[in-house]
């Protein structure tokens, strides 16, 4: 961003920075009673879970009865909701402003527990005990690829069916591909419904029937191969498991389909969460395209960790040049150069106000002569030298900030060019993590404001 | 130096980048390293600016001093067919299994089979020798699953050996565990100087140690340059605002009087310094937590403009300088 001599052009540039895309208005979405499910998705490490919690809190304080389903919250985030260890049951969060009649509940997905509950709910006690004790089941439920995603969707379906809450905010699992949660239910569904299951079931089920004999031979051969590969005991465990689960398979498939349809329903809103970094936004763009392909309703993009500057009219280049002047007293002390520099701001500054010229006497420093006698880099303890040193440091910091701003703007522009239809809300970067409800509330306010607030002067 | 170097880390910490740089560093001066990708994201191809990697070992980079980096993106499905071929010579039966959905089942849902294949393939590459009895690869670097899953991933063979109590899978699982739990292997964790990744690193190390897996080094990635040091931050507190305005004005940034350009810069610049100070304090805190872990600790710089091939070579140089490779 080099300083442009044309104030109008610079002004336009500034305007583009403020509203480059449609702004996502979070509050109407959260307040609308027709919004029943908000799904936060995106790649890992972009603040998905925090966003989900902040949205849940904001909706609750605006009168809705909310449950937030988190997948793997950081300890601090769970604590920020006043709950030291979230578990598989929604817990009411205390300290929420309930003057609008809302409530906030939070829970953390326990996939094994969720799976166990399904088994207990759909099988008689003996059969349930057999399944729960099966080694194959224990491995499957404790977390193999896809189970977490499947159980997250299962839990979502359960919460929705209970109808105890009028808004469910869901965080999605940190998958190797951010889209696994869309695929896993289908994959598990088709596995449990598929040909392989029939094969595995074959010896147990088809056994006595003469008409099936030919088929049975083929299948025995097949299971023989599987047995050889996997080891006999393992295959027996799988078969026992499959036989015990047989009555539930239809149910799995039906529920997976129902949850998938629920995600496409008008009461559902997807929010893609990203940070203004190349990889995160590339993933976000991919996500937007995938959701469209699946007919999933996208509400918009939440762009976390966006940086701003209260001094964004001072370009990085000018800040660095000024810092160099301050750090090298020999240049500063050259009267010609200095006079030239002092005059430059008013021609380059966008506001073009003429106030600096009369101030020059005030700005000049009476101790310059004494400084010149000091060796550079030593004895920097005179107040003027330390003020110069600090000013130079602040200017370098500012230059770094301006470079960051430009980079973030570029990556974001690239996303907007590809998906101009997607509404965006920006959340200003926080220096630290969220520790309490006040922190979550602050993030909620930033989410609703749509664009980052500039640092408060003197804050 | 361990021949199998496993690189894990919380999502978003840049573990793929670190794994790639480590492979380059290890290959330097005539060595040969294999970089293995197990998550099917083609992150390695992106980093090395080549097309998507097929399921075969392919040379992707030349390291300084004539070394070679090979890369392999393991496709679990093909790996399983490979594996069946190796143990059973079942060409057509393999295809039949595939038709039935057994391969899909085995690689996506069945307990750990996918992870068994991935770790198995990496260990096979570690042990592979050429005709003259020399190791084909001096080092194998694995871009492994994230910290939250790494212990389970590496330990899956223990579990499988327990599930499949006899048979070739049982034997294979035990052979893999022998490599993974030996000094041949080192598991490194990549983190950032932020609370959550640091916490996950500490938890991950505890889990790895409990599972008796060999923990290697902690690598802090994307460390931002220190623009202001502690002494500068003291100045923020002690310097009168008017003096700062005069300095800014003296540097040619406008008037220092109230309402002048330089004076109006003071507040926003100090606000930025405030944010910086807060982050600086947090980073120092996290650095202390990492130091307490008692493992070799390394820091790699942030490349503000994003990572590219040139940056990768710079990181490799840095890794060598720090004695990691």
Collect all residues of chain A within an 8 Å Cβ-Cβ radius of residue B273. Answer: 393-394, 397
Distance from CA of A35 to the nearest CA of B (A): 31
Q: Please indicate whether, in this complex, the C-beta atoms of B256 and A362 are within 8 angstroms of each other.
A: yes
Domain assignment of residue B269, yes or no: yes
Chain B residue closest in CA terms to A387: B244
Specify the pLDDT at position A87. 80
With 0-12 / 13-18 / 19 or more C-beta atoms within 10 angstroms meaning exposed / middle / buried, residue A324 is middle
Per residue in A286-329, pLDDT (tens digit) is 889 989 998 999 999 999 999 999 999 999 999 999 999 998 76
Q: Please indicate whether, in this complex, the C-beta atoms of A45 and B273 are within 8 angstroms of each other.
A: no
Per residue in A366-414, pLDDT (tens digit) is 444 444 444 444 444 678 888 999 999 999 999 999 999 999 999 999 9
Distance from CA of A441 to the nearest CA of B (A): 20
Residues B206 and B246 in one domain: no
Residues B136 and B157 in one domain: yes
Residues B152 and B272 in one domain: no
Question: Is a pLDDT exceeding 70 seen at residue B29?
Answer: yes
pLDDT bucket at B228, cuts 50 / 70 / 90: very high
Residues B314 and B168 in one domain: yes
Per residue in B63-102, pLDDT (tens digit) is 988 999 999 998 877 777 777 676 666 556 666 666 666 6
Q: Please indicate whether, in this complex, the C-beta atoms of A196 and B102 are within 8 angstroms of each other.
A: yes
Collect all residues of chain A within an 8 Å Cβ-Cβ radius of residue B114. Answer: 144-145
HSE, side-chain direction, 13 A CA sphere, residue A297: 15
Range of the domain at B130: 4-224+302-321
Collect all residues of chain A within an 8 Å Cβ-Cβ radius of residue B250. Answer: 325-326, 332, 338, 363-365, 388
> How many Å apart are CA B119 and CA B126, to the nearest integer?
11
Strands A103-108 and A65-70: parallel
Residues B164 and B141 in one domain: yes
> How many Å apart are CA A137 and CA A139, to the nearest integer?
5
Q: Please indicate whether, in this complex, the C-beta atoms of A309 and B268 are within 8 angstroms of each other.
A: yes
Average pLDDT value for residue range A123-152: 76
Q: In which residue are the tokens 């925090």 written?
A: A50
Instruction: Specify the number of domains making up chain B.
Output: 2
Residues B214 and B67 in one domain: yes
ipTM, 2 dp? 0.82
B97 closest CA partner among A203, A146, A253, A195: A195
With 0-12 / 13-18 / 19 or more C-beta atoms within 10 angstroms meaning exposed / middle / buried, residue B280 is buried
Average pLDDT value for residue range A140-146: 62
Residues B178 and B237 in one domain: no
Domain assignment of residue B285, yes or no: no
Q: Is A377 or B271 the better-scoring residue by pLDDT?
A: B271
For residue A273, list its beta bridge partners.
A302
Per residue in B146-189, pLDDT (tens digit) is 888 899 889 888 877 776 677 777 788 888 999 999 999 999 99
C-beta separation of A446 from A452 below 8 A: yes
Dump the DSSP string for B248-308.
HHHTTS---STTSHHHHHHHHHHHHHHHHHHHHHHHHHHHHHHHTT-S-EEEEE--TT---
SS (H, E, C) A315-358: CHHHHHHHHHHHHCHHHHCCHHHHHHHHHHHHHHCCCCCCCHHH
In this structure, the number of other CB atoms found within 10 A of the CB of residue B288 comes to 10
Domain assignment of residue B296, yes or no: no
Residues B176 and B215 in one domain: yes
Residues B197 and B258 in one domain: no
Residues B63 and B138 in one domain: yes
Residues B94 and B238 in one domain: no
Specify the pLDDT at position A187. 66
Q: Is B226 or A180 the better-scoring residue by pLDDT?
A: B226
Return the exposure string of B230-257: e unless at least 16 CB atoms fall within 10 Å of the residue's CB, then b: eebbebbeebeeebbbbbbbbbbbbbbb
Specify the pLDDT at position A237. 72
Output the pTM of the full model.
Answer: 0.77
HSE, side-chain direction, 13 A CA sphere, residue A93: 34
Question: Is a pLDDT exceeding 80 seen at residue A234?
Answer: no
* CA distance between the termini of chain A: 26
Domain assignment of residue B292, yes or no: no
Per residue in A62-98, pLDDT (tens digit) is 999 999 998 876 666 777 787 766 788 899 999 999 9
User: Across A77-86, B133-142, B228-237, which has the greatest mean pLDDT?
Assistant: B133-142
3-state DSSP assignment of residue B204:
helix
> How many Å apart are CA A419 and CA A230, to the nearest integer?
48
Q: Please indicate whether, in this complex, the C-beta atoms of B272 and A401 are within 8 angstroms of each other.
A: yes
Distance from CA of B256 to the nearest CA of A (A): 6
CB pairs under 8 A between A and B: 279
Residues B79 and B194 in one domain: yes
């Amino acid at each position: 961003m080099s300083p442009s001599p044309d104030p109008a052009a610079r002004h336009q540039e500034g305007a583009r920075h403020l509203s480059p895309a449609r702004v996502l208005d979070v509050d109407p979405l959260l307040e609308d009673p027709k919004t029943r499910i908000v799904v936060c998705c995106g790649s890992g490490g972009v603040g998905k879970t925090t966003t989900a919690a902040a949205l849940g809190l904001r909706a609750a304080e605006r009168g809705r009865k909310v449950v937030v389903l988190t997948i793997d919250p950081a300890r601090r985030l769970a604590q920020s909701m006043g709950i030291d260890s979230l578990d598989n049951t929604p817990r009411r969060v205390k300290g929420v402003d309930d003057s609008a009649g809302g409530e906030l509940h939070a829970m953390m997905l326990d996939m094994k527990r969720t799976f166990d509950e399904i088994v207990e709910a759909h099988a008689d006690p003996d059969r349930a005990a057999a399944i729960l004790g099966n080694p194959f089941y224990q491995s499957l439920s404790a977390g193999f690829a896809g189970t977490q995603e499947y159980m997250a969707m299962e839990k979502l379906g359960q919460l929705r069916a209970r109808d105890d809450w009028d808004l469910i905010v869901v965080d999605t699992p940190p998958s190797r591909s951010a889209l696994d949660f869309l695929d896993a239910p289908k994959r598990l569904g088709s596995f449990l419904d598929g040909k392989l299951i029939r094969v595995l079931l074959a010896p147990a089920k088809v056994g006595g029937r003469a008409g099936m004999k030919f088929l049975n031979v083929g299948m025995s051969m097949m299971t023989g191969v599987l047995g050889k590969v996997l080891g006999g005991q393992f295959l027996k465990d799988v078969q026992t498991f499959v036989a015990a689960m047989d009555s539930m398979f239809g149910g799995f498939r039906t529920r997976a389909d129902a949850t998938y349809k629920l995600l496409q329903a008008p009461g559902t809103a997807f929010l893609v969460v990203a940070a203004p970094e190349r990889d995160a936004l590339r993933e976000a763009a991919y996500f937007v395209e995938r959701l469209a392909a699946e007919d999933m309703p996208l509400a918009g993009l939440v762009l976390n960790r966006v940086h701003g500057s209260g001094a964004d009219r001072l370009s990085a280049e000018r800040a660095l040049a000024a810092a160099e002047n301050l750090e090298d007293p020999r240049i500063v002390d050259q009267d010609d150069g200095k006079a030239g520099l002092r005059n430059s701001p008013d021609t380059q500054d966008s506001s073009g106000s003429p106030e600096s010229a009369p101030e020059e006497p005030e700005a000049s420093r009476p101790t310059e002569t004494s400084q010149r006698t000091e060796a550079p880099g030593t004895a920097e303890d005179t107040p003027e030298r330390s003020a110069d040193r600090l000013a130079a440091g602040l200017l370098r910091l500012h230059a770094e900030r301006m470079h960051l701003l430009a980079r973030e703007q570029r990556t974001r522009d690239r996303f907007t060019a590809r998906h101009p239809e997607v509404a965006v809300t920006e959340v200003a970067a926080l220096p630290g993590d969220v520790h309490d409800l006040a922190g979550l509330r602050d993030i909620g306010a930033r989410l609703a404001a749509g664009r980052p607030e500039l640092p408060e002067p003197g804050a | 130096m361990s021949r199998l170097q496993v690189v894990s880390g919380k999502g978003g910490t840049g573990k793929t980048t670190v794994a790639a740089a480590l492979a380059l560093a290890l290959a330097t001066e005539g060595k040969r390293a294999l970089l293995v990708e197990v998550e099917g994201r083609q992150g390695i191809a992106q980093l090395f600016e080549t097309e998507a990697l097929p399921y075969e070992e392919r040379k992707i980079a030349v390291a300084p001093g004539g070394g070679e980096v090979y890369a392999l993106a393991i496709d679990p499905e093909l790996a399983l067919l490979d594996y069946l071929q190796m143990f059973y010579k079942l060409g057509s039966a393999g295809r039949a299994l595939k038709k039935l959905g057994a391969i899909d089942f085995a690689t996506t849902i069945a307990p750990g089979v996918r992870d068994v294949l991935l770790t198995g393939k990496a260990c096979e590459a570690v042990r592979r020798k050429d005709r003259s009895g020399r190791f084909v690869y001096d080092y194998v670097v694995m871009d492994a699953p994230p910290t939250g899953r790494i212990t389970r991933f590496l330990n899956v063979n223990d579990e499988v050996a327990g599930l499949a109590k006899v048979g070739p899978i049982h034997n294979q699982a035990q052979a893999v565990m022998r490599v993974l739990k030996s000094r041949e292997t080192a598991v490194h964790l990549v983190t950032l100087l932020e609370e959550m990744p640091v916490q996950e690193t500490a938890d991950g190390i505890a889990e790895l140690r409990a599972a008796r897996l060999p923990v290697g080094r902690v690598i802090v990635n994307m460390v931002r340059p220190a623009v202001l040091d502690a002494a500068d931050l003291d100045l923020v507190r002690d310097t009168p605002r008017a003096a700062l305005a005069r300095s800014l004005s003296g540097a040619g940034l406008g008037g220092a009087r109230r309402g002048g350009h330089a004076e109006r810069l003071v507040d926003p610049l100090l606000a930025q310094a405030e944010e910086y100070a807060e982050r600086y304090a947090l980073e120092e805190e996290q650095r202390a937590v990492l130091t307490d872990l008692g493992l070799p600790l390394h820091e790699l710089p942030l490349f503000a403009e994003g990572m590219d091939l040139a940056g990768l070579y710079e990181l490799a140089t840095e890794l060598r300088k720090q004695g990691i490779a």
